[in-house]
Structure 1
Amino acid sequence: MHKDLKLPPEALRLSVDLSGFDLPEAPKAPTPILGQPRAQAALEFGVAMPNPGYNIFVMGEPGTGRLSLITSQLSEAAQKSPAPPAFAYADNFSNPREPVAVCLPAGYGHEFGKDIDKLIDDLLATFPAVFESPAYQQKKSALERQFSQHYNAAIDLVDERARAMNIALFRESESVTFAPLRDGKTLDEDQFALLSQAEREQFHKQVEALEEYLGDVLIELPQWRRELVEKLRQLDCDTIKQAIDPLFAALQEKYQHIEDAVSF
């Protein structure tokens, strides 16, 4: 009977199958430096220091485990700490020597860089096309016509006075010249030389008077030019803004929760 109650050796060991349990991984104890408890304590204190401006200087004999201890300590601290932010550095057009640092949450750096590269490609493709569009060309032509109308109206006044003096006015680009008229026809240099001295002198005096009058009616020409340049500049700005706003709107919506990205 005692023989039947005898237990085999394998029955004396308790075996538990833990494969069905989700157990946290046990933390690894830092590898100590043999005989250097103070050095290890100092390293732990330094790594745990959250404030900036502190450094850890490690020295010792080769083979004492310095690198192993530091690597182990930093790995453990990194696992307990939140992931650091990513930084993207962009050109600072105001001061090229100091690039703009854009602080991004961890994991956003590479994606942000790809989005900016795509934005640049889209902008390069947009600019030539937007200034060649019929809408832009029509607005630009309308502004230039306004300037031409001011200029032509002033020249017409001078032309009217010149014809009353039997003098023809010619426009060549932005210059104005005068020539004598006889029977509605312009005299060339040879024909002009055949006129009497008195007629030639009278013509020169009349031209001087017309040139003075021309200066009076065109006294606002520089102002007209400035207004045209300003209107064309404003047209360019409005056209560019209208074209690129949708491109930036998509990025602003995507990164609206990241202050640095939106301000950049």
Structure 2
Amino acid sequence: MAIQYLSAEQLYHIATLEKLPCKSTKELAPIDEIVGQERAQKAVEFAMSIKEKGYNIYAIGRNGLGKRTMILRYLNRHQHENTELFDWCYVANFDDIRTPRVLKLPSGVGQKFRQDIEKLMAKLMNAIPLAFDNELYFSRADRLKNQLAQKQQHELEEITRRAKERDISLTITTQGDYQFVAMNGEEMHTEESFDALSKKEQEYFSQTIDELEVSLRNMVRQLTEWEEAYSEKIKKLNDDVTLDVISHFIKQLKQDYSKYPEIKAYLTELQKDIVENVDIFLDDTGEQGELATAALDKKLPRRYKVNVLVCRSSQQFPVVVEENPNYHSLFGYIE
């Protein structure tokens, strides 16, 4: 190709301002392109079209070329393609408290759910103690306690009567154990008075006491069974009272979140766990109570707190600019 010389006039183009379509550049829409970077723009467009995981864009070049500006423009331009945004929450896994459960919720639902649970807990912290501090609960609990006491008293009176008919007294030792003692009229036999009895009388007392002790052991076993049954009835009463309170407050929450199966399942487990651990709401004194309510606001029991890890307050796809992209900045850390 032959070399062709150009004159100065050919190298200079005169712009006629009158021919421009505007009087000022303020009237023009901003250019959404990077001038002179067509190949770079095509590369970024191609990278943005890749939907698979594991791909990254790395832009390198001299300062001032517009690398960040171009990447941010394309990110904002393509954000409408990422329509599915989610909130990510951690809640307690009541089957294994060491491995929390993850809730993947639509954008904005996580924060609302956290607030609703806090409101629920605030209501329960007031309502549950009141349910256990009224005459209706006291009367039901006292009725069960009196039934047990009457059975125990009847059995003790019966074995005491049988012993008395045989001139034997049922006493309680200083250690709290029951003991049968042979009687000498209205007084207990002393060692000397018992030795003064005939051999036949001594054998009578020994044999009778052995028989009564067998009956006493059977009675103690029966009393233990009654006490276990009483404990179960009291637990059933406490469970029913707690469930009545929770059901009243949690019913509306289940309706509000009926289209979120994960939340519905969690609310059911939450209700069951509160019934099983109602003492958290009743005992707010001592070390156990302090540990149970060790939350940031000191009011919400920690095991029922909803921890929102990622909150999408708007429908816009988030674009995060990290000025110092070291390991901790990118992956985080635990203090």
Interval of TM-score (by shorter of Structure 1 and Structure 2): 0.7 to 0.9
Cα distance in 2 for partners of 1:111, 1:248 equals: 15
Aligned residue identity for 2:36: L
Task: Tell me what 1:166 maps to.
Answer: 167
8 A Cα contact 2:87 2:107, kept in partner? yes
Larger RCO (CA under 8 A, 6+ residues apart):
2
Task: Tell me what 1:220 maps to.
Answer: 222
Task: Tell me what 1:68 maps to.
Answer: 69
8 A Cα contact 1:33 1:65, kept in partner? no
- Compare 230-239 and 148-157 and name the one that shifted more: 148-157
Give structure 1 regions of 4+ aligned residues with deviation exceeding 6 angstroms: none
8 A Cα contact 2:44 2:57, kept in partner? no
Structure-2 change in CA distance of 1:146 and 1:80 (3 Å): same
Cα distance in 2 for partners of 1:97, 1:49 equals: 38
8 A Cα contact 1:33 1:40, kept in partner? no
Task: Tell me what 2:276 maps to.
Answer: none
What is the CA distance between 1:243 and its match in structure 2?
1.1
Structure-2 change in CA distance of 1:126 and 1:59 (3 Å): same
Cα distance in 1 for partners of 2:105, 2:76 equals: 23
Trace 1:72-221 onto structure 2 (pairs within 5 A).
72-79=73-80, 81-82=82-83, 84-170=85-171, 175-183=177-185, 185-187=186-188, 192-193=190-191, 195-199=193-197, 201=202, 203-221=205-223
Match of 1:260 among 252, 259, 262: 262
Structure-2 change in CA distance of 1:116 and 1:28 (3 Å): farther
Structure-2 change in CA distance of 1:47 and 1:263 (3 Å): farther
Which has the higher Rg, Structure 1 or Structure 2?
Answer: 1
Normalised by the length of structure 1, the TM-score is 0.73
Aligned residue identity for 2:155: A
Structure-2 change in CA distance of 1:70 and 1:245 (3 Å): same
8 A Cα contact 1:168 1:186, kept in partner? no
8 A Cα contact 1:103 1:261, kept in partner? no
Number of corresponding residues? 232
8 A Cα contact 1:43 1:56, kept in partner? no
The alignment-based identity, stated in percent, is 21
Normalised by the length of structure 2, the TM-score is 0.59
What is the CA distance between 1:59 and its match in structure 2?
2.9
Give ranges in structure 2 of 5+ residues lacking alignment. Answer: 1-28, 267-335
- Cα RMSD over matched residues? 3.0
What is the CA distance between 1:92 and its match in structure 2?
2.5
Cα distance in 2 for partners of 1:196, 1:104 equals: 84
Task: Tell me what 1:12 maps to.
Answer: none
Aligned residue identity for 1:44: E
Cα distance in 1 for partners of 2:143, 2:135 equals: 12
Task: Tell me what 1:20 maps to.
Answer: none
Cα distance in 2 for partners of 1:144, 1:44 equals: 78
Cα distance in 1 for partners of 2:176, 2:145 equals: 14
| 1:190-227: CA deviation from partner (whole Å, max 9, x where unpaired) | x7345241549454543333212212344433332332
Cα distance in 1 for partners of 2:179, 2:124 equals: 47
8 A Cα contact 1:127 1:240, kept in partner? yes
